[in-house]
């Protein structure tokens, strides 16, 4: 049984997790400078400890309604080894070790964008945590057309 540390954050009332090994830091969000002709999910660039990094709004990226940032909003700075990106989330304040055995693959019914962004789903008691596939989230060339039924 192995435990892996995750940073948890909330977005649109749902809890998401990202491996803490990818998280460089969590910051309050100051000024975001818009970038012309950027992908709609890219809110702009921010200056974090002397480094200019793109700020990716996860609400927009996941197709949720974009809301005004508030005091609880956070910038989760991710370093994948190949790039550094700030994820704009509703709130981030929790660190949790999750048993890797408790992370299940996403259900096959989650097709399209939602399933593509998820590496798995961890269930801890009554709590469900969606584990992000960072490579997919950061791949702004990947867009799924909305499903029409």
Ordered by where they begin, the domains of the chain are 3-138 (2.40.50.180)
Task: Check whether 123 has a pLDDT greater than 70.
Answer: yes
The pLDDT-based confidence of 147 (bands split at 50, 70, 90) is very low
The model's pTM is 0.88
6: burial class by Cβ within 10 Å (0-12, 13-18, 19+)? buried
| The pLDDT of residue 63 | 87
The pLDDT-based confidence of 56 (bands split at 50, 70, 90) is very high
Taking the C-alpha atoms of residue 11 and residue 73, their distance in angstroms, rounded to an integer, is 10
């Amino acid at each position: 049984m192995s435990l892996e540390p995750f940073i948890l954050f909330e977005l649109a009332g749902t809890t998401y997790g990202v491996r803490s090994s990818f998280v460089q830091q969590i910051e309050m969000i100051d000024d975001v400078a818009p970038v012309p002709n950027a992908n709609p999910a890219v809110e702009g660039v921010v200056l974090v400890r002397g480094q200019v990094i793109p700020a990716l709004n996860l609400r927009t990226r996941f197709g949720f309604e974009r809301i005004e940032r508030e005091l609880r909003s956070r910038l989760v700075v991710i370093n994948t080894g190949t790039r550094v990106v700030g994820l704009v989330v509703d709130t981030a304040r929790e660190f949790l070790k999750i048993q890797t055995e408790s992370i299940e693959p996403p259900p096959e019914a989650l097709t399209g964008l939602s399933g593509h962004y998820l590496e798995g789903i961890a269930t801890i008691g009554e709590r469900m945590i969606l584990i992000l596939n960072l490579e997919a989230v950061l791949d702004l060339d990947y867009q799924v057309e909305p499903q029409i039924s």
